[in-house]
Amino acid sequence: METRELGRSGIKVPALCLGGNVFGWTADETRSFELLDALLESGLNFVDTADVYSKWAPGNHGGESETILGKWFAARRNRDRVVLATKVGLPMGEGKQGLSRKYIRQAVEDSLRRLQTSYIDLYQSHRDDESTPQEETLGVYAELIAEGKVRAIGASNFTAARLHSALEASRKHNLPRYESLQPEYNLYDRAGYEAALEGVCVSNGLGVIPYFSLASGFLSAKYGTAEEAAKVPRAGMLKKYFNPRGMRILAALQEVAREVKAKPAQVALAWLMARPGITAPIASATTVEQLRELAASTRLELTHNAIEKLSRASAEIVAA
Ligand SMILES: NC(=O)c1ccc[n+]([C@@H]2O[C@H](COP(=O)([O-])OP(=O)(O)OC[C@H]3O[C@@H](n4cnc5c(N)ncnc54)[C@H](OP(=O)(O)O)[C@@H]3O)[C@@H](O)[C@H]2O)c1
């Protein structure tokens, strides 16, 4: 397995991360075990989850994804083979949210218990919390690293200004720094990362692990029409993509896919992998076949021309 370092954490990861928000949602426990087994068989070992996954599914309360992962680690006795990323901060009910020292101390114990492990490789702030001083959050992360409960920390959904100020706070107070950023970024949703975050990440040597890499499955080009996409569990997230720009992106993806004899989902991931600062896109799968297809994208290298074709088709304004 070819690996790269996640920021300056010393942690080596492959070029693709499996998203865990499907565990306990669109993938039940049996299917989740199959997906995780297939991930290791494919030569990959990087998994992203969060305490809150998959709270939105009917009957769930949050913690389902971590619980399934914990059961899998226990059943397979393979915790040491996996680079495990999870997150804290989104509402878990009864005031349980945010990035205060008090809450993180409680939330990390809950995650470790559900995950049936003594340590988390990458512990991420799921979103910014402006009501907590950044030194306080980084200070509790320093404690967790010293105690061996966390190896490295990352940020998700931060603005460039707040990521920059967190990095400054780490420097000034001699605290651990965010080694990675997890932004929304894919061929369709580009501006949020490319405008300012990319610069902060590249100039500070942060690892970048983008989420929604397949735009919730839209970039697999499997939905012929918006009506078709409206019938699936991800309908709410998919509908924004069915417009002329979305169709232009799909057409370019299909053209490049034909040229390189690959699937559109693989091409969409390969485009992301080629972008500045990207360490490993995160994508989820709900069947072993999908997972194998995604894993193969790590061996797909696009030509400069193919990358340009995709970048032009997905630009917000296309020159006449
Ligand atoms: N930090 C954050 O705030 C945040 C937010 C969202 C997600 N995330 C992370 O990012 C991960 C990825 O996001 P996501 O899973 O929501 O979206 P995604 O990776 O963009 O889309 C994944 C979905 O696309 C479909 N798919 C996958 N491979 C396919 C293939 N080869 N062919 C056709 N369809 C395929 C599957 O859905 P179907 O079952 O519909 O086929 C799969 O679950 C999450 O699991 C989570 O770890 C983080």
- Give me the pLDDT at residue 316, please: 77
* For range 110-124, the mean pLDDT: 98
- Give me the pLDDT at residue 1, please: 81
- Give me the pLDDT at residue 315, please: 92
Percent of the chain with pLDDT over 90: 97
What letter represents residue 271's amino acid? W
Could you list the active site residues? 53
Q: What is the pTM of this model?
A: 0.97
Q: How far apart are CA 153 and CA 38, in angstroms?
A: 27
Tell me, using a 6 A CB cutoff, whether residue 221 lines ligand 1.
no
Is the Cβ–Cβ distance between 280 and 14 less than 8 Å?
A: yes
pLDDT 10s digits, 136-148: 999 999 999 999 9
Tell me, using a 6 A CB cutoff, whether residue 103 lines ligand 1.
no
pLDDT 10s digits, 208-247: 999 999 999 999 999 988 999 999 999 999 999 999 999 9
Q: Quick one: which atom of ligand 1 is closest to the CA of 50? A: 47
Could you tell me the distance, in angstroms and rounded to a whole number, from the CA of residue 243 to the centre of ligand 1?
Answer: 20
What letter represents residue 136's amino acid? E
- Give me the pLDDT at residue 98, please: 98
* For range 252-256, the mean pLDDT: 98
Provide the 10 A C-beta neighbour count for residue 94: 6
Q: How far apart are CA 302 and CA 307, in angstroms?
A: 6
Percent of the chain with pLDDT over 70: 99
DSSP for the chain, written as a single string: ---EESTTSS-EE-S-EEE-TTBTTTB-HHHHHHHHHHHHHTT--EEE--TTTTTTSTT--S-HHHHHHHHHHHHHT-GGG-EEEEEE-S--STT--S--HHHHHHHHHHHHHHHT-S-EEEEEESS--TTS-HHHHHHHHHHHHHTTSEEEEEEES--HHHHHHHHHHHHHHT---EEEEE-B-SSSS-HHIIIIIHHHHHHHT-EE--B-TTGGGGGGT--SSHHHHTTSTTHHHHGGG-SHHHHHHHHHHHHHHHHHT--HHHHHHHHHHTSTTB---EE--SSHHHHHHHHHGGG----HHHHHHHHHHHSSS---
Query: b/e per residue, 34-55, with b = 16+ CB within 10 A?
Result: ebbbbbeebebbbbbbbbbbbb
pLDDT 10s digits, 50-83: 999 999 999 999 999 999 999 999 999 999 999 9
pLDDT 10s digits, 160-218: 999 999 999 999 999 999 999 999 999 999 999 999 999 999 999 999 999 999 999 99
Tell me, using a 6 A CB cutoff, whether residue 265 lines ligand 1.
yes
Q: Quick one: which atom of ligand 1 is closest to the CA of 283? A: 19
Tell me, using a 6 A CB cutoff, whether residue 294 lines ligand 1.
yes
- Give me the pLDDT at residue 224, please: 84
Output the average pLDDT for the chain. 97
Could you tell me the distance, in angstroms and rounded to a whole number, from the CA of residue 168 to the centre of ligand 1?
Answer: 32
Confidence check: pLDDT of 317 > 70: no
Alpha carbon separation from 217 to 111, 137, 190 (Å, rounded): 28, 34, 16
* For range 274-291, the mean pLDDT: 97
Confidence check: pLDDT of 320 > 70: no
Confidence check: pLDDT of 319 > 60: no
Alpha-carbon dihedral sign for residues 83, 89, 90, 94: positive
Q: How far apart are CA 10 and CA 42, in angstroms?
A: 23
